[in-house]
């Protein structure tokens, strides 16, 4: 999955942009859960999960089928409608919610897992949106942030990553109440999104102290 907007064609908080992007195809993403999520979460006991930028719902459904109670949030109504249709008759463990987590923080301390897979979170001087996501992790809970390795961007690519947090940058902003378990670049375990050269992921997994 990739959720990077293109320069001059909308932003992460532009509902119309994302609705139109989802309408442009019958299915925008593969329908499979993200590989890093599967690898990093398989050993965690199920609890309450927040899927940030859930898109068409593959990650949320994967978690729900493994016993997680999932709050799946996206700014696009089109994406959420598709996700809910995929979930119909499959699992009752997902609450689909339309919200902009860059302006409205999720409940503090409510989630055993906060997963942000390729979600372009805009950088802010006060880090308010980021701190809202960090605060949403319950004591003992896990933060999992995944992005594309910027080294894979071809020269002259129109996407400008500078306005958005990268996992390693988030790791540097964590205080002593967090333990960083993974902060690395690794090869992707699934093919890159169509039309891209993304062969590596940058991964941050951190645990909040009890």
- pLDDT tens digit string along 165-184? 999 999 999 999 999 999 99
Model confidence at 10, pLDDT cuts 50, 70, 90, reads very low
Q: What is the reported pLDDT for 157? A: 63
Residues in the chain: 210
Measured CA to CA, the distance from residue 63 to residue 57 in angstroms comes to 10
Worst-scoring range by mean pLDDT, 25-29, 112-116, 128-132, 141-145?
A: 25-29
Structural class in CATH, domain 46-150+161-208: alpha beta
What is the percent of the chain with per-residue pLDDT over 70, rounded to a whole number? 82
Taking CA atoms, 79 is separated from 99, 120, 174, in Å, by 12, 16, 31
- pLDDT tens-digit series, residues 128-156: 999 999 999 999 999 999 999 998 887 66
**Annotated domain spans of the chain:** 46-150+161-208
pLDDT confidence of 25, banded at 50, 70, 90? Answer: low
């Amino acid at each position: 999955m990739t959720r990077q907007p293109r320069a001059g064609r909308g932003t992460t908080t532009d509902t119309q942009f994302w609705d139109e992007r989802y309408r442009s195809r019958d299915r925008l993403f593969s329908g499979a859960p993200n590989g890093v999520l599967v690898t990093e979460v398989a050993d965690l006991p199920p609890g309450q999960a927040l899927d940030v930028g859930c898109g068409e719902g593959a990650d949320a459904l994967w978690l729900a089928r493994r016993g997680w109670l999932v709050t799946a949030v996206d700014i696009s109504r089109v994406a959420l409608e598709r996700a809910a249709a995929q979930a119909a008759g499959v699992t009752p463990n997902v609450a689909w919610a339309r919200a902009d987590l860059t302006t409205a923080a999720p409940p503090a301390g409510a989630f055993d897992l906060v997963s942000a897979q390729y979600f372009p979170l805009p950088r802010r001087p006060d880090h308010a949106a980021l701190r809202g996501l960090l605060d949403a992790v319950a004591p003992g809970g896990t933060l999992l942030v995944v992005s594309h390795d910027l080294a894979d961007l071809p020269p002259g690519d129109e996407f400008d990553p500078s306005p958005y947090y990268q996992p390693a940058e988030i790791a540097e902003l964590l205080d002593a109440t967090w333990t960083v378990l993974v902060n690395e670049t690794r090869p992707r375990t699934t093919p890159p999104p169509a039309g891209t050269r993304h062969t590596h992921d940058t991964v941050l997994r951190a645990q909040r102290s009890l």
